[in-house]
Amino acid sequence: MRTGVLLGAVAGAFWGLVFLSPLVLESFSALEIATGRFLMYGGISLILLAPSFLRIWQRLSLSDIGILMMLGALGNVLFFALLAGSIQDVGIGPASLVVGMAPVVVTLLGRSDKDTLPLSVLAGPLSCIVLGIFFINADAFQMAGEQSQSIGQSVRGLLMAFGALASWSLFTVLNARALKRRAEMSSRLWSSMIGVSAGLWALGLAAILWIARSPSISANAVPDGKDWLLFWVVSFGIGVGGSLIANMFWNGASRRLPISLTGQVFVFEPVFALLYGFVYSSRLPRPMEAIAITMLVAGVLWAMNQYARKARCS
């Protein structure tokens, strides 16, 4: 179990860096950032799979292809587009901590799976996490009142964060179940195949963005002022580190942990995202942010202790 938790923590450290990309690329839309990231992830995954692509393809059933396409959307393109939009509207803190509610949702979705503790045993840890989410939402609305940001923008950002939460929670449960059914596939191979799926979704999104932009393009069009070199450098970084490598570590964690504990370990992502965000903004957490972080970490540590106690008693 310790190895699974460690792998999940490393994945969270890589994923946390991804939360900075919408701020670094603030002149780009959430859909453009998602497209760049997953075009990179898909392209590199395809290169890695190329030597054995035909052999791998022959081993896949229609069910496998269907689940890979679903995972490529839920845990990658859709999730990140919603997350990036939320970060641009309400900032890293509220967005990351709403998504940090994944342990609660994943526990509920995976409560009937093997090795999962009863909800009554996890009620305390989950209550801590819910309280943490309450405090970060309260902080978001308080800051909206103090700054020029409108309440409507805060609501939109939080709604996108909750959409990202739903998307990621479904991904976590479906991905863990698929990995345990296909034990013969390595975590690296599964990550690369999800990457190809995400790349296909990104290609479709790129086509839609191009078509939507085409009417405004003319021979005398004025440059849009966006730093496209920075865009592709960041896209490469989050496509490799925040997708290919992070997903590989996460798949290793998903194989080793019960689904509900996998959800708890996901909290490393928002915690690292907050730490990076504070460094990027050169500030310390506000009181309600500090309370939220404390409640989240306490909830996860409490849940891990409950699973360790169960293991000692078995």
Write down the residue that tokens 């923590």 correspond to: 9
pLDDT value at position 148? Answer: 59
| Alpha-carbon dihedral sign for residues 83, 179, 112, 299 | negative
Q: CB–CB of 257/8 below 8 Å?
A: yes
Q: What is the pTM of this model?
A: 0.81
| Alpha-carbon dihedral sign for residues 170, 172, 176, 182 | positive
Separation CA 303–CA 305 (nearest Å) = 5
Write down the residue that tokens 């690292």 correspond to: 272
H-run or E-run covering 5: helix 2-18
H-run or E-run covering 70: helix 62-72
How much is the mean pLDDT over the chain? 83
Residue ranges for the chain with pLDDT beneath 50: 218-219, 222
H-run or E-run covering 258: none
